[in-house]
Amino acid sequence: MLSKKTAIGIGIGSLAVALGVYFLLQSFSNLHDVNDTVDIGKSDVFEFDAQNHYHELLNVTGASFHVKLKTPSNGLQVDNDFENKVSFDWVSLADGKHFINITNTGGSPLHVTGKLEAVQNPMIFMSHLIVISSGILIIGISAAFSVRKPRGF
């Protein structure tokens, strides 16, 4: 029979492991769906790292807007005003940082949609592993309480 402290510890540890595994699996996806609305006079900025041959797609719809898009190497470089609708569809020519700034200069909200493929930051991956190992450690320490209670508990 498990003591109350052991059961609580195993439950908390199991929750930490489950959440860590869920978010770790989510982080393996490189594709990010964009579906934003930009209010009048506001900007929307996307800055991400992408590798060579990653496919990017971005659509902007609204009255009038300014788009500044920079890709690494000799890739797509845009710094223009647009009206109604514009679509950008490009493939990364080199590894590096992509920068997109969309500013609403019109009288109605903008709708920004697309799919951006980005490289995940390695520190985020490590943080998920730390949460998983912490949950396993909590489960192990809690299970030790049911085997033999240490002095002072």
Specify whether the CB–CB gap between 110 and 60 falls below 8 A.
Answer: yes
pLDDT digits (tens, 9 = 90+) for 95-144: 889 999 999 998 889 999 999 888 777 788 899 999 999 999 999 888 88
DSSP bridge partners of 37: 111
Half-sphere exposure of 88 (CA within 13 A, CB side): 25
Express each pLDDT in 133-152 by its tens digit. 999 999 988 888 777 666 66
Look at 29 and 150; give whichever has higher pLDDT: 29
Cα dihedral 6, 12, 14, 20 sign? negative
Assign 3-class secondary structure to the chain: CCCHHHHHHHHHHHHHHHHHHHHHHHHCCCEEEEEEEECCCCEEEEEEEECCCCEEEEEEEEEEEEEEEECCCCCCEEEEEEEEEEEEEEECCCCEEEEEEEEECCCCCEEEEEEEECCCCHHHHHHHHHHHHHHHHHHHHHHHHHHCCCCCC
Residue 153 banded pLDDT, cuts 50, 70, 90: low
Q: Among residues of the chain, what percentage have pLDDT more than 90? A: 46
Q: Which CATH class is domain 30-119?
A: mainly beta
Tokens 């569809």 map to which residue? 89
Mean pLDDT, residues 68-73: 90
pLDDT number for residue 60: 93
Task: Show Cβ contacts of residue 141 under 8 Å, excluding neighbours closer than 6 positions.
Answer: 9
102 token code pair: 């969309």
Average pLDDT along the chain: 87
Question: What pLDDT is stored for residue 30 in this prediction?
Answer: 73
The pLDDT, as a whole number, for residue 3 is: 80
Question: For residue 9, what are its two tokens?
Answer: 């510890």
Instruction: Give, rounded to a whole angstrom, the gap between the first and last alpha carbons of the chain.
Output: 17
CATH 2.60.120.680 domain residues, the chain = 30-119
Where is average pLDDT lowest: 25-34, 61-70, 84-93, 144-153? 144-153
Contacts of 14 (CB under 8 A, 6+ apart): 135, 139
